[in-house]
């Protein structure tokens, strides 16, 4: 599995954090989420998605995260791959080994505003998205669709 993010420090303890993320495509545009938090230096554009809670299955987690971060429902997601990312998660104050499952789907319906604070849905042309996304793994998967 391909790895992105910080260099792995063998002396560091990483917490395993599985997650699911989705490329939401409508025509030549993608629905991304902009996250702007107190601990972030600047807003980050990300694929919608996030961590899978203990006891939660991957697809319900993905649907939940998309709704929380964008306010949209999505069609049936198709898994297109995965990558690992070693990163400091400031919201949780921990170093994590994130195992990121990547899906592709279409946004279906906007039901309202995001319910997760500090997230804003953003439509971006697919050709521009790889350069705008905040992490290399997400950018690589989007670029592979071009």
pLDDT, tens digit, 9 for 90 and up, residues 4-60: 877 888 888 999 999 999 999 999 999 999 988 655 567 889 999 999 999 999 999
Residue pLDDT, tens place only, 84-132? 999 888 778 889 999 999 999 999 999 999 999 889 999 999 999 999 9
- What is the torsional sign of CA 51, 70, 103, 108? positive
What residue ranges in 11-137 does DSSP mark as E strands?
A: 15-26, 29-35, 44-46, 49-51, 72-74, 78-89, 94-105, 107-110, 119-125
Domains annotated for the chain, with CATH where assigned, are: 3-141 (3.90.79.10)
| Rounded CA separation 20/12 (Å) | 24
DSSP 8-state class, residue 126: T
pTM: 0.92
The residues that bridge with 86 in the sheet, in sequence order, are 5, 97
Residue 145, sorted as left (phi over 0), alpha (psi -120 to 50) or beta, turns out to be alpha
């Amino acid at each position: 599995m391909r790895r992105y993010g910080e260099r792995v420090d063998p002396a560091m303890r990483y917490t395993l954090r599985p997650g699911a993320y989705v490329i939401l495509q409508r025509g030549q545009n993608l629905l991304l989420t902009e996250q702007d938090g107190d601990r972030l230096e600047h807003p980050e554009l990300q694929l919608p998605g996030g961590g899978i809670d203990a006891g939660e299955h991957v697809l319900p987690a993905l649907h939940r995260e998309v709704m929380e971060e964008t306010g949209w429902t999505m069609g049936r997601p198709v898994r297109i791959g995965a990558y690992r990312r070693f990163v400091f998660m400031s919201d949780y104050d921990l170093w994590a080994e994130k195992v990121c499952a990547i899906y592709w789907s279409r946004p279906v319906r906007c039901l309202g505003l995001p319910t997760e604070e500090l997230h804003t849905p953003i439509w971006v042309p697919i050709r521009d998205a790889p350069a705008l996304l905040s992490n290399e793994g997400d950018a690589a998967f989007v670029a592979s669709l071009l």
